[in-house]
């Protein structure tokens, strides 16, 4: 099983955040950053699926977009057990919005090759919009299941449990698919 996990390098919430005067984007270079906590859950879910998949050729590749410091998100992912990392780093994409980011991620996923499952956190801890997974799934032409509290993959199908305030629902999608996970996944 070939799994790609999209991760984001975010400014540390304890840092004093400022904006670049030139373009009013968040200054990500002068503050400490880290792998978005919500993406760590997606990495763990991917690693568990790879370990339990039939055959030893299962692979988890993490994918990030960002400046040089974003390589730290890849390094943390590799320390967690990911098999490979891809870092898209180009000054021309500085300040990309969610639509631009989803386009960049989609092209990177296509270059990675045949993918069975794309995993994401439910949102990033800095933007907290949660729209990139849906946009990415659309650009890749994949079915998406979101807000997974539980995830299993068997017989070419991803099955999630989504927990709400009053009830839980089970949703399935045929592979390849995109799944966003919550902090309850592991």
The span from the CA of 118 to the CA of 108, in Å, is: 12
Q: Which pLDDT does position 183 carry in this prediction?
A: 93
CA dihedral 186, 71, 64, 179 (to 10 degrees): -10
Percent of the chain with pLDDT over 70: 85
Report yes or no on whether pTM surpasses 0.85: yes
Whether the predicted pLDDT of 149 surpasses 70: yes
Among 97, 117, 99, residue whose Cα is nearest residue 49: 117
Q: Which pLDDT does position 17 carry in this prediction?
A: 60
Asked whether the CA dihedral 124, 39, 158, 100 is positive or negative, the reply is positive
What average pLDDT does the segment 122-148 reach? 87
Q: Which pLDDT does position 153 carry in this prediction?
A: 96
- What residues form DSSP beta bridges with 3? 60, 117
Q: Which pLDDT does position 60 carry in this prediction?
A: 97
With 0-12 / 13-18 / 19 or more C-beta atoms within 10 angstroms meaning exposed / middle / buried, residue 147 is buried
Q: Could you tell me the pLDDT band of residue 126, with boundaries at 50, 70 and 90?
A: low
pLDDT in tens, 38-80: 999 999 999 999 999 766 689 999 999 998 999 999 999 999 9
């Amino acid at each position: 099983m070939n799994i790609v996990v999209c991760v984001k390098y975010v400014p540390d919430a304890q840092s004093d955040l400022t904006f670049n005067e030139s373009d009013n984007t968040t200054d990500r270079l002068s503050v400490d950053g880290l792998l978005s906590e919500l993406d760590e859950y997606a990495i763990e879910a991917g690693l568990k699926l790879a370990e339990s998949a039939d055959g030893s050729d299962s692979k988890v590749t993490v994918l990030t977009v960002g400046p040089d410091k974003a390589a730290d998100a890849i390094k943390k992912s590799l320390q967690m057990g990911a098999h490979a990392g891809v870092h898209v780093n180009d000054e021309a994409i500085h300040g990309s919005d969610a639509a631009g980011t989803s386009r960049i991620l989609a092209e990177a996923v296509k270059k990675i090759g045949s993918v069975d499952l794309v995993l994401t956190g439910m949102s990033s801890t800095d933007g907290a919009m949660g729209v990139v997974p849906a946009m990415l799934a659309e650009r890749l032409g994949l079915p998406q299941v979101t807000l997974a509290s539980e995830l299993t993959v068997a017989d070419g199908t991803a099955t999630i449990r989504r927990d709400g305030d009053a009830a839980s629902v089970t949703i399935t999608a045929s592979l390849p698919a995109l799944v966003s996970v919550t902090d309850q996944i592991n």
